Each structure stands twice: as C-alpha cells, then as structure tokens.
Amino acid sequence: MELVLAFGIMVALLGGISVGYLLSKRGSKQAEVAQDQTLEADSLIAKAQQSAQDILKKAHEEAKDIKLSAEREAEKVVKLAQEEADRLRATLKEETEKLRQELDRKRREVEEYLSERKQEIQRLEQALQQKEANLERRFQALERREEELYRREKEIRELERQIDQAQRDIQIRLKELEEKEREIESLRQREVLELQRIASMTLEEARSELMKRVEESAKAEAIRLMKRIEESAKERAEFEAKKIITTAVQRLSSEIAINYTTTTVELPSNEFKGRIIGREGRNIRTFELLTGVDLIIDDTPDVVTISSFDPMRRELAKEALQRLIEDGRIHPARIEEVVAEVKKEFDENIRKMGEETCVELGLYDINPGLYYYIGKLYYRTSYSQNVLLHSKEVAYIAGLMAEELGLDARMARRAGLLHDIGKAVSHELGGSHTDIGIELCKRYGEPDPVLNAIKAHHDEEPVRYPEVALVCAADALSAARPGARRESLEAYLKRLEKLEEIVKSFKGVQNAYAVQAGREVRVIVNPEELSDEEAYMLSKNIARKIEEEMQFPGQIKVVVIRETRHVEYAK
C-alpha cells in the first residue's frame, strides 16, 4: 500500500515538472504568462505535495488499520487454531481413555476367564480327589468285607469242627441215655407195682395220675425252655437288627418333614396390604380366583397369610405374590400376567426337582418321564408328612441297610424312592395309590422289585425280594419317627382306648395302662389267677391280638407285671 502511495506522489511530481518544463519552452512572450503559470505550477506542486502528504498520511493510517485488522485476524486464526488443537487434544485424550478402558475390560475378561478356568480345574481336581477318596473307601470296605468273610469262614470251620465233636458226644450220650432208659423202665415198673400196692390203685389209674403230673411238669418245663430259647434268639436278632438299623439311621441326617395348610409372605411395609387388596377389593379377588387360594390380611404387621389345603396352589400363590411385591405393579392385568408366568415355570421346576432327587440318590437310569411325578411328591403330604422327603428317607435307610447286608443297595434305594409314587396323582385320578403307582411304574418300565415294594409295603402282596423287605422296614421307621406324622387328639385317644380295651379282654388282667403315646402298654395281672409261665404266654397272646386288630406305625411294647406281696406286722 505504501509503494502505491509513493508511486502516486512521484507521478504527481513528474506531472508538475513536466508542466513547468513545457511552460518554460514557450518563450519570452509568454514570460509573464509563464511566470504566472510557474506560480500556478508551484501552487499546483504545493497542492500536489500537500495532497501527496495527505494521501501518504491517509495511506499510513489505512496501513495501520490494515495492520491492526491483520493482527486481529491473526489472533483469531491463532485462537481458532488453539481451540482446534485443544479439541483435537481432548478428542485424542478421550479416544486414549476409551482405548485404555477397553484394554482394562479386555484384561479383566481375560483375568476372569483365567480365574474361571482355574476354578474349573480346581473343581475337577477336587472331584478327582473325591472320586479317588471314594475308590479308596470302597477298596478299604472291600478289604474289610474280605476280612469279615475270611473271619466268618474261619468261624464256620470252627463251628463245623465243634458240630462234629458235638455229634460224637451226642452219640455217646445217646448210648448212655439208652442204658439209662432201660434202667428207668425197670425202675418204673417196680415203682408202678409199689404204687399200686401202696395206693391201692390200678395200673390205669396210676398211669392217668402220673401222666397228668408229668404233663403239667413237662408243660411248665417246655414253657421255660421256649422262653429261654426265644429270649436268646430275640436278643441275638434284636442285637443284629438294632446294629444294622442304628448304623443306617445314624448315617442319615433327615429334616423334619411336616407341611401345614398356610404359608406366610413377608411384606416390605404395611402399605402393601392396601395395594394387594386394591380398589374395592379387585386385586385380591383376581388373585384368589386365578390361584385358587385364600389370602388372609389381618392386623399382623408386614405379613400376609396364604391358606389352602393344596400345597401346589400355596407354593404357586406364594411365588406369584412375591414377584408382584418385588415388581411393585399390582393390578388385575399384571396379576394375570405374573400368575401365568409362574404356572408356566412351575411344571419345569417340578420336573427339575424330580431329576435332582434321582441324581442325589445315584439313580441315573430312571426313565425321565417319572421325574415330573417324583418332583410332584414334594407337594403331597401323608398324615402331614411330606411324601417326597419321606420317600427319600426310606430310600436312604433301605439303601444303607442293604449295603450292611451285602444286598443290592441301588435297587433298595430305587424301590424306596418309588414305593409311594402313586400319591403324586392319586388325588386327581382317584383309587388306591398302590394301583396307580403300579400302572405308572409299568408304563415307564420299572423292574419287578419296585412293583413288589409298592404293593408289599401295604401288605397287599407278599414280599418276594430281600430289598423289598428292607423298604418295608425303612417305611415303618420313617413313618414312626417322632415328629414325622401328626395325629388328631380324637384319633389318638380312641387308639389308646382301643389298646387298653384289647388288653383288658384277657382273663386274669386286673388293669392296663397305655403309656409313651401308645407305644407301650403295661398290664397288671392277678398273681393268684396266673403263674409266671402263664403271664409270659399272656404277653405273647396280647401282642398277637394287637397285631390282628389294630393299625399302628412302628411297634408296641407289651409289659406284663405279676407281683405278689405278703405283709405281716410284728407286734
């Protein structure tokens, strides 16, 4: 811009000089004119110079303005460049942070994957160690069984040797007895003759009297001998049975298996009671209609009670109500939706429960079609005892006793688990649960011992397999366990009255007392009417009659007490 101004000034100066030069060329004639023109030129030059100075000044000012504007524009450009650089730097930092977070996430995923693999390896190692320990225990058990068999074989050989020696002794004794019998016969004939002479009785009369006394003596002796033999055998049998049963029961840790007809659901706060009831009771009516239960909402704080005799309905209603409470949206449409979801999941949960039960008992070859019915037993009760827990308890006890006796433990567990399978659907189909159980097990190809256990545990057919006998014993043990089953007061009193009535019907009984909730009866007899031997036979007859006329779990102990007291006072 300054160059342009300078160029303009130079042009103006050159123009002025040119004008002056032309004027000087015109001659003297025009001197005055020239002088005037010179003055005019000088004036023009002065004006041109002044104009040039003004233009230069203006150019300087414009240049200064342009410079300031350029500086401002440069500052703006620098500022924009700085902002762009900051933005790029922030973007780069954000991208770097994202990459770092992604890297950390990938690293955590890798660490979690490695941790899961490590835990899985540890679980596999633990399972392997467990299997090795199980194999070691089984090997030790086999060694103990082998040692036991060797010991028993040795005892049997010793018993055979003792039996041979006893047979030889018996032969010698028989010969001695034959000689003594001949002597006794000779003495008896002489005694008969002497008795006839002394008693003035005929031979037939003496024989009749003698036979009567011998019969009475032999009868008493036979009773005493039978009592000793029976007590000895009973003691031995009871010892072995108690040993096996105690070992089995001690190895089983069962839970109390009692269900009631109500279930409680805890609420986060008391305000949920109003939401459950709904406007004009619409919510509670919809819920009860869809689930088939009764909701009891009383003054109990933060608690709602679900009442129903059907455990499946109670459980379904409980699950649905808990989901509604967690969700917080309680209205008829939502209630229908939640109840439908719970019903859809319920059957699958029942089937899964049955499968887990079979896996828990080691019964991997049961037909999967039975899983649903096995799981359904959890929602059935018998005398308030949960049928699935009862069946598992029977399976465990029968299996443990079968192992102790060297029988098929798996078959015993299988029969124990399925002996009450008919109760899963007996309330729906009607009829005996044993018949329904037989049909179910036949449909799914269960073996004959299982079918025999279903019938035999209710004495509907004889026991054909030793494992079935163990199932019947385990069933009685599980049902008779204290607290397993409840009984109404009226039925309890009638059972005790029936028990005492049976005992009092026998001759010679003064009184009878049922004690220990009917598991023992104590009989007081008249010592003048019954002897000790007759009291012993009375206890057996009472026990037999109780077995024939009463239904009871477990066993009833009969105690006959015969006591004679003679009192005299010294004065």
Question: Which pLDDT tens digits describe the chain residue by residue (571 residues)?
Answer: 454 445 555 555 555 555 555 555 554 555 565 566 667 767 777 777 787 787 778 878 887 888 888 888 888 888 888 888 888 888 888 888 888 888 888 888 888 888 888 888 888 888 888 888 888 888 888 888 788 888 877 887 887 788 778 778 778 877 887 888 788 778 777 776 776 666 555 666 666 766 776 676 666 666 666 666 666 666 665 555 555 555 554 445 454 444 455 677 878 877 778 888 888 888 888 888 888 888 888 777 778 888 877 778 888 888 888 888 888 888 888 888 888 888 888 888 888 888 888 888 888 888 888 888 888 888 887 766 788 888 888 888 888 888 888 888 899 999 888 888 888 877 777 678 888 888 888 888 889 988 898 888 887 888 889 888 888 888 877 765 544 454 455 666 778 888 888 888 888 888 888 887 677 888 888 888 888 778 888 888 888 888 888 876 667 888 888 877 767 777 6
For residue 285, the model assigns a pLDDT of: 86
- Please state, in angstroms and as integers, the Cα–Cα distance from residue 350 to each residue in 68, 316, 344, 388, following that order: 88, 11, 11, 12
The three-state secondary structure class of 445 is: coil
- Gap between the Cα atoms of 233 and 288, Å rounded: 61
Q: What is the DSSP letter of 258?
A: B
- Gap between the Cα atoms of 7 and 13, Å rounded: 10
- Gap between the Cα atoms of 160 and 141, Å rounded: 28
In 3D, which of 426, 451, 431, 306 has the Cα closest to residue 376? 426
Q: What is the pTM of this model?
A: 0.45
C-beta separation of 232 from 238 below 8 A: no
Q: Give the residue carrying structure tokens 């005019």.
A: 40
Amino acid, single-letter form, for residue 298? D
C-beta separation of 463 from 469 below 8 A: yes
- Gap between the Cα atoms of 408 and 346, Å rounded: 35
- Gap between the Cα atoms of 241 and 249, Å rounded: 12
In 3D, which of 488, 516, 491, 511 has the Cα closest to residue 501? 511
Strands 303-307 and 509-515: unpaired
In 3D, which of 571, 569, 512 has the Cα closest to residue 546? 512
| Beta strand spans in 278-367 (E) | 294-296, 303-307
User: Side by side, which strands form the sheet with 557-561?
Assistant: 509-515, 520-525, 557-561
- Gap between the Cα atoms of 376 and 346, Å rounded: 10
Cβ neighbors of 103 (< 8 A, separation 6 or more) are none
In 3D, which of 301, 297, 311 has the Cα closest to residue 262? 311
Give the DSSP letter string of 7-40.
HHHHHHHHHHHHHHHHHHTT-STTHHHHHHHHHH
Q: Give the residue carrying structure tokens 């690293």.
A: 107
- Gap between the Cα atoms of 509 and 562, Å rounded: 10
Strands 385-386 and 381-382: antiparallel
For residue 213, the model assigns a pLDDT of: 67
C-beta separation of 522 from 562 below 8 A: no
For residue 29, the model assigns a pLDDT of: 53
- Gap between the Cα atoms of 152 and 406, Å rounded: 14
C-beta separation of 513 from 500 below 8 A: yes
C-beta separation of 229 from 235 below 8 A: no
In 3D, which of 535, 559, 508, 558 has the Cα closest to residue 220? 535
- Gap between the Cα atoms of 313 and 294, Å rounded: 10
- As given in the structure block, the two tokens for residue 88 are 């790029």
What are the backbone angles phi and psi of residue 358, rounded to the nearest 5°? -65, -40
- Gap between the Cα atoms of 473 and 9, Å rounded: 136
